[in-house]
Amino acid sequence: MVESARRTLSSLDITRPVLQLGGNIVAASDHVRLLGVDIVSDLSLDRHVTNVSASCFYHLRQMRRIRRSLDNQSATTLVHALVSMCVDYCNSVLAAAPKTTTDKLQRVLNAATRVASNTCKFERGLSQLLHDELHWLDVPDHVAFKLVVTVHRCLNGRASNYLSNHVIPVSAIVSRQPLRSSQQNTLAVPHYRLTTYGCRAFSVAGPTAWNSLPVAFRDPLISNACFRQHLKTVLFTQQHRLHSV
């Protein structure tokens, strides 16, 4: 697979390479599937999100058909399993994704909420059901939750080296130790060239999400369970402020 920006791919006449293995010929593809995530040549995630959304809506339609035979607890369990398996799986790759992309998965969460609560499409109170009863974060906030939890694991030495090497506290950089940010548990955010792809890298998206937290919550010494609970509270508070405006 040849990877490049969409404009570059459209302007270049690229001949796809061909690999010959014995008597078999393997042609290059414009997309690959890696650990369940569809990656296309321009590194956009539209194809992946579209496939996930289509699969989720199919299963939700099947659940809607048998909803009358299920009690609320059973329906909620099924919906939680679907969301955890499809929507939440590898969703940290959606860091810095455009709103048009995350909105597709947000519509899946909205439909799943309707199935779990057995309500119709145009009934009010969707946000209350989604946040207060099912305790789900909106898709962009859940992506941020995954990123910040991963950064917290890196700071505690419980993540892989290929991730931990990109999480550098400002206080560990000698030239920046006199700065006020070095006393606030902030992380160094490297410079990047391409605004389309550079800000999506974990080395940029992870520290950026961590630095956006209130100073009181940027404590790597907090236990993982306690940190996750406090982090979710912070994100829910931000959501309520946003929806109340």
Residue keyed to tokens 């006199």: 178
Q: How far apart are CA 232 and CA 154, in angstroms?
A: 19
φ/ψ of residue 169, rounded to 5: -65, 145
Q: How far apart are CA 82 and CA 143, in angstroms?
A: 17
Q: How far apart are CA 162 and CA 196, in angstroms?
A: 22
| Pair of tokens at residue 19 | 């690999």
Distance of CA 85 to the CA centre of its chain: 13
Higher pLDDT, 106 or 13: 106
Q: Is the pTM of this model over 0.85?
A: no
Q: What is the pLDDT of residues 115-136, one digit of tens each?
A: 998 888 777 778 888 888 888 8
46 pLDDT more than 80: yes
Q: What is the pLDDT of residues 54-103, one digit of tens each?
A: 999 999 999 999 999 999 999 999 999 999 998 888 888 888 888 888 99
Q: Mean pLDDT check: name the lowest of 15-24, 30-39, 209-218.
A: 15-24
pLDDT at site 242: 65
pLDDT at site 3: 61
C-alpha closest to that of 102 among 35, 64, 48: 48
Q: What is the mean pLDDT of residues 15-23?
A: 71
| Pair of tokens at residue 72 | 């609320």
Q: How far apart are CA 17 and CA 6, in angstroms?
A: 19
Contacts of 193 (CB under 8 A, 6+ apart): none
If you write DSSP's letter for every residue of 108-135 in order, what string do you get? HHHHHHHHHHT--TT-S-HHHIIIIIS-
Q: Where along the chain do its domains lie?
A: 1-42, 44-136, 142-244
Q: What is the pLDDT of residues 186-231, one digit of tens each?
A: 888 888 877 777 788 888 999 999 998 888 888 888 888 899 988 8
20 pLDDT more than 80: no
Q: How far apart are CA 108 and CA 214, in angstroms?
A: 30
Q: How far apart are CA 183 and CA 186, in angstroms?
A: 8
If you write DSSP's letter for every residue of 132-149 in order, what string do you get? IIS-PPPHHHHHHHHHHH
